[in-house]
Structure 1
Amino acid sequence: MSLRTFAPSVRVGNWNEDVSLEEDLLKDFLEKREKGELLIQKSNYLKTKILQKTELSIPKDGFLHFGEVVILLNPENREETLSNTSPVHGNVTLCVSPAESAVHSESLLEAPCGISASTNVKPHVRNAFVITSVDGSALGETLHYGQNFALRTTEGFMGHLYLTSDQKTFLKCSKKSCLQEVSLTNKPLYQTCWQIVYLDPQLRLEHEGLPVPANTKVLIVHSKTNQCLAVLRKYVLWTFFGKDYEVTAHTFLNAHKAEGNENHWILVTGNPSDDMDTMFDRPKPPSEQTEDAENKGSRYSQ
């Protein structure tokens, strides 16, 4: 009678090495989890830091001042909404879009860093910017039309990055539209200088040098290239925070030789009341609501 030497439970090959490898992988995973070094933990840490709610500045006189914290909002265009020509409706805000390398780091955000537009219009660290002086103006002084200034990210995790742009080249341009790129840098140069320009081109010269009112439609023009900051809602960018839209520096002129809706911006400030977040969320006066309703009715009748 022959003795059975092998059975299904007998391990063959490099089974001992495989078991040791699995144990080492599990041990390494548990150590990284305890230290918070897993990729999903770092991603959640980044989102927690950058989506933290922030408070906007509340100007006392209704004008913008150096050192104030604002959000840059591109308002919804009612004509595009009615004609369904825009792929995304609603308001969008200028937002910081970190690269993939930022997820692997727990330190401050590093330059260069991307910029995009998000439909999240609530004030948080990602879309808050500080109006910064570049000509020696003191904190608290009023910003004027045509005056150079810089837009800087807030204190702490954002790392003092400046909104910048430069002439487009074959190697450096926006990803989707191939227009002039807009990004963030850590060095305050002439490329980081911008100007506020009055919206109506026929009254632009008359407003040159006057204080810039907050929560009003304006143009943000790059000082070096003379191109307007713009949102391209037809170009989608996928980020860690969902679907965003491309931001570039390019002047879009309509049939009347005026800047298009892509170039319209509102520098939104905080609301002194307790039940709202920003001045943009405040209910309109009855006169403005009636006017908007009449305009909307006339467009539908046409």
Structure 2
Amino acid sequence: MRPSQKKYYMTYNNSVLVGNWSEERLKNEYDFKLFLRKRDRRELLLQRSRNLFSNLLKEKTLAISGTFLMFGYNVQVVASDMPAGKSVGDKPQYGLALSSLVSERQVDYMENINDGCLMTLSPIVTPCCRNSFVLLSANDETIHGQKLNYGDEFLLKAENYGDPQAAPLYVRYTPSGVPEPADRMPIRLSSTKDINCRWTTMPLLPRDRLEGLGSPIQTGKRLIIKNCVADKSLCVMNENWMQTFFGPECGVTCRNYIDIHKRFTARNVFTLVSDVAVKKKA
């Protein structure tokens, strides 16, 4: 290239503003003010996540009912025979607690449990908002202090410690009228109290089911929990582990797993726990 054909460009020092500098400055100022306003209103995603963890994982002392399960007291639904996916030293840990789940997409607009929250089984068995329920009679929710017997229908009302004034939520099974996928998880929290929210229990061993019907249930007793409408037992979806906002958790549904001796397998074995000491023994 000839020297006469060279193009000379004008150079600027650092004090010269180029481009849409005015619009960019105004936009940065607006973004900063918007950030301050969201921070003051506690609307930032980080703040919402902290509030969510604080509300759902806040430890709570269970209202212990004593030796037997009673209506009106707190319980946890624990699959005591299933491995928790972690171990302390060489000793494996067992126990998965029925828990409500808030997904990553719901964190933006939810800070407590709500209608439609999916139910999972979590290795976190410490009593907290997401895994503690109130045992209520399906016939009269005002009953308090009466023993729960095998065969009695009951409701599991979720404990919402973050918003006690919110509408009550119940553990509900949604049956499917058509063949469903094996990994479908139909148990959720619902503000609609209908017959799909009714559950019942029966003894674990077949030889005890006839004589045990109508007898009180001991705290931490291994038993079978059935949905009254579907007539299927609560079970662990051990092949359906997922990574959630609270760590790896397992799916839960209603399905019968029976061996050749007509006994329920470990997937269907649960305990209703109302005492931390009993849970550790189980």
Structure 1 residue 242 displacement after superposition: 1.2
Is 1:29–2:35 an aligned residue pair? yes
Structure 1 residue 150 displacement after superposition: 0.6
Partner residue in 2 for 1:73: 78
Structure 1 residue 256 displacement after superposition: 1.6
Structure 1 residue 34 displacement after superposition: 2.4
What one-letter code is carried by the residue in structure 1 that aligns with 2:144? Answer: L
SS in 2 for 1:204: helix
Structure 1 residue 89 displacement after superposition: 5.7
Partner residue in 2 for 1:162: 170
What one-letter code is carried by the residue in structure 2 that aligns with 1:23? Answer: E
After TM superposition, where is structure 1 displaced by more than 4 Å over at least 4 residues in a row?
A: none
What one-letter code is carried by the residue in structure 2 that aligns with 1:115? Answer: M
What one-letter code is carried by the residue in structure 2 that aligns with 1:186? Answer: S
What one-letter code is carried by the residue in structure 2 that aligns with 1:198? Answer: P
Partner residue in 2 for 1:91: 95
Q: In terms of mean alpha carbon deviation, does 261-270 or 19-28 score higher?
A: 19-28
Structure 1 residue 210 displacement after superposition: 1.1
Aligned 8 A contact 2:99 2:119 in 1: yes
CA pair 89-76 structure 1, distance change in 2 beyond 3 A: farther
Is 1:263–2:263 an aligned residue pair? no
Aligned 8 A contact 1:165 1:180 in 2: no
Partner residue in 1 for 2:148: 143
> Relative to total residues, which structure has the larger helix share, 1 or 2?
1
Q: In terms of mean alpha carbon deviation, does 179-188 or 4-13 score higher?
A: 4-13
Structure 1 residue 155 displacement after superposition: 4.5
SS in 2 for 1:145: coil
User: 1:257-296 residue pairs with structure 2 within 5 A?
Assistant: 257-270=262-275, 277-282=276-281
TM-score (norm 2): 0.84
**Equivalent in 137, 156, 163 of residue 133 of structure 1:** 137
Is 1:202–2:207 an aligned residue pair? yes
Q: In terms of mean alpha carbon deviation, does 39-48 or 199-208 score higher?
A: 199-208
Partner residue in 2 for 1:115: 119
What one-letter code is carried by the residue in structure 1 that aligns with 2:154? Answer: F
Alpha-carbon RMSD across the aligned residues, in angstroms, is: 2.6
Is 1:38–2:37 an aligned residue pair? no
User: 1:177-188 residue pairs with structure 2 within 5 A?
Assistant: 177-179=182-184, 181-188=186-193
**How far apart are the structure 2 equivalents of 1:49 and 1:144?**
33
Aligned 8 A contact 1:269 1:278 in 2: no
**How far apart are the structure 2 equivalents of 1:231 and 1:150?**
20
Aligned residues: 263
CA pair 91-250 structure 1, distance change in 2 beyond 3 A: same
Structure 1 residue 30 displacement after superposition: 2.0
Q: In terms of mean alpha carbon deviation, does 232-241 or 118-127 score higher?
A: 232-241
**How far apart are the structure 1 equivalents of 2:177 and 2:183?**
9
Aligned 8 A contact 2:56 2:113 in 1: no
1:10-54 CA distance string (max 9 Å, x none): 332212211221221122112212221101101110110111111
**How far apart are the structure 2 equivalents of 1:180 and 1:37?**
31
What one-letter code is carried by the residue in structure 1 that aligns with 2:175? Answer: Q
**How far apart are the structure 1 equivalents of 2:171 and 2:17?**
62
1:223-249 CA distance string (max 9 Å, x none): 000111111122112222111111111
> Relative to total residues, which structure has the larger strand share, 1 or 2?
2
SS in 1 for 2:231: coil
Percent of residue pairs bearing the same amino acid type: 26
SS in 1 for 2:188: strand
**Equivalent in 47, 55, 60 of residue 61 of structure 2:** 55
What one-letter code is carried by the residue in structure 2 that aligns with 1:110? Answer: N
**How far apart are the structure 1 equivalents of 2:278 and 2:18?**
72
CA pair 106-181 structure 1, distance change in 2 beyond 3 A: closer
Structure 1 residue 107 displacement after superposition: 6.5
Gaps of 5+ in 2: 1-8, 87-91
